[in-house]
Amino acid sequence: MGPPKTMAFVKIGYHFWGFLGPGVADTSDDGRSHRAVLVDALARAGHEVVLLQMHRDLVQARDDLGGAYTFDVGFPDIDGLVLEWRRPVPGRNTSPCGRPGHSCDLHRQQELLARYTVPGVPTVVWDRDLWLPADDAVRALPNVTVAESALRPRAGASRLFFPVAEEVLDAADPEELVRRARPLPLLLVGDEDERGDGFDRYFAPAAARWPHRVVGRWDAAGHRSGLDFAGRLPFAHIAALYDRALSALLLATPWHDAAGHVSPRLPEAVLAGCLPMTPAARHDAETLTPAALHARDGAEVARILEDLVRIAGTPDHVLLLADCLKRLDLFRARDQVAAIEAMLSRAVCGMGAG
């Protein structure tokens, strides 16, 4: 049978459709805190990375990113492909090209799958938000590995977390972070999706007692009077809110919770010194955040806030934040690069075994 088939992955094609820089405000793209981190880490590991799409940072945000990245709307020769999975969204990316409001992300993904994946190019499908159907034919291809940002990936999938740069994590100083003024006790960042029940159970009762801010698209905002809904904000504004917030509540959708999905909201908050509160019923809560930040309901969110306000700026605050920072080792960029390399190599072995 011979040794496993191997190959050196020199040139990697990457498709994501969103932004590498701050981008524009009116988009739900949540890759802006870490996508460039991953691309840069792949480059440092010796890979040439070509971004297989139009340069949206330049076209829509007038940001050329210093000319640091290579974009290609064609089909260059590549050794491996990484796709951030795009799902059909009726009225947006399923409409004909050129129609008002059309986004061509799904069409481009279909082109890349047909040009590279189906003919056998090793491919990582990064199902970041767990939208890839269980019966999708792409899962059965021997050169494809599906990756999820999840502690308990679904059947057949591998782990690939949202990366944090080593130098950023290693430089994070809990003592310096707790010295910052934090006039906003409670923050929530993210669109509504299916988080409404969690919002009403955990966030709303505490928000009725404490200053707060909700960032994202919440269709039911008008039915929740007295709460501070800010809508979608530019990425830099959200980062500034984390810098001013004492704590942020992490809410997962039911399907995310079932897989132990880990959102980029967690490292974004912690690296800014914002303590991540977590529903105690959430799967893997003990892995992601300290027990002192686990709440069973909105009344307990309010009680934890009282404790956090009381210890703010003290050694206890430093220790709690240091514990949160230590848990971010899960996200180190070098480990995500190693995971991608391993997945692409397994795809080659899988083809050899077929």
Same domain for 190 and 137?
no
Task: Identify whether 62 is part of a domain.
Answer: yes
Band of pLDDT at residue 322, cut at 50, 70 and 90? very high
Same domain for 134 and 20?
yes
The Cα–Cα gap between 293 and 51 comes to 39
Same domain for 86 and 123?
yes
Is the model's pLDDT at 98 over the cut of 80? no
Q: Which residue has the tokens 């795009």?
A: 86
Residue pair 242/259 in contact (Cβ under 8 Å)? The answer is no
CATH assignment of the domain containing 175? 3.40.50.2000
Domain extent, residue 183, equals 167-331
Is the model's pLDDT at 1 over the cut of 50? no
The Cα–Cα gap between 261 and 168 comes to 23
Same domain for 153 and 180?
no
Task: Identify whether 50 is part of a domain.
Answer: yes
Same domain for 238 and 138?
no
Task: Identify whether 3 is part of a domain.
Answer: no
Band of pLDDT at residue 354, cut at 50, 70 and 90? very low
Task: Identify whether 6 is part of a domain.
Answer: no
Task: Identify whether 51 is part of a domain.
Answer: yes
CA of 92: how far to CAs of 89, 229, 353, in Å?
6, 25, 40
Same domain for 50 and 31?
yes
What is this structure's pTM?
A: 0.91
Same domain for 64 and 143?
yes
Lookup: tokens for 276: 């991540």
Same domain for 133 and 178?
no
Same domain for 320 and 196?
yes
Question: Higher-confidence residue: 30 or 143?
Answer: 143
Is the model's pLDDT at 115 over the cut of 80? yes
Domain count, the chain: 2
